[in-house]
Structure 1
């Protein structure tokens, strides 16, 4: 079998900034970093979800968190049962400079209804 078929699927379910190695998304997917906080966007309108996500990422980064989960849902409660927030959340995260990488959550962490996000290290105090 052709291994690149797996990689193509893999690339659609993950994002990493230029300069971030493939090992980072592999470790993220494998649970290398423990999830420190989560944001659940279920039931929010698009504009509310975008604002909540922005605030959550900024606060998490400012407080020095490295790994967070964003639950966007699978779209089962949406019209047509298609996920509205899933693609948008991915686009919004790509635009956030604090975000180094993200992957679809493992089944035990929410699977297709959630993303696990790796943030840049927050500012440390001098000598810290």
Structure 2
């Protein structure tokens, strides 16, 4: 992945806030012509239950109809599980 790709930092947000921001930022990235983005979720150890929550919800959203409609093509886990490299469809 190119080092100039945009990053979307969702770290520290509640899942509903994170998915709303992700939708907005994916749309903006595609408008700017980005082919991929880095979605930073964090590893999830900062919540009260001490287990990952956000990354699973983000992954499910990226695979959903809405995620696909907004351009998510595929993704892979990176940064020791704290981020996702998301490839975007061409417009």
Q: TM-score range by the shorter chain?
A: 0.7 to 0.9
TM-score by length of 2: 0.87
Partners in 2 of 1:39 and 1:76 — Cα distance? 19
Post-superposition shift, 1:60?
A: 0.7
Post-superposition shift, 1:84?
A: 1.2
Q: Which entry has the higher C-alpha Rg, 1 or 2?
A: 1
**1:34 matches 2:2:** yes
1:46-83 CA distances to partner (integer Å, 9 max, x unpaired)?
21101000001111111110011001111110122101
Q: Which residue of 25, 30, 43 maps to 1:61?
A: 30
Task: Find the residue that maps to 1:74 and give its secondary structure.
Answer: coil
Count of aligned pairs between the two proteins: 86
Partners in 2 of 1:72 and 1:42 — Cα distance? 5
Post-superposition shift, 1:34?
A: 1.1
Q: Which has the larger share of helix?
A: 1
Which residue number corresponds to residue 72 of structure 2?
99
Q: Which has the larger share of strand?
A: 2
1:90-121 CA distances to partner (integer Å, 9 max, x unpaired)?
0111121211110011xxxx220100000012
- Stretches of 4+ moved more than 4 A in 1? none
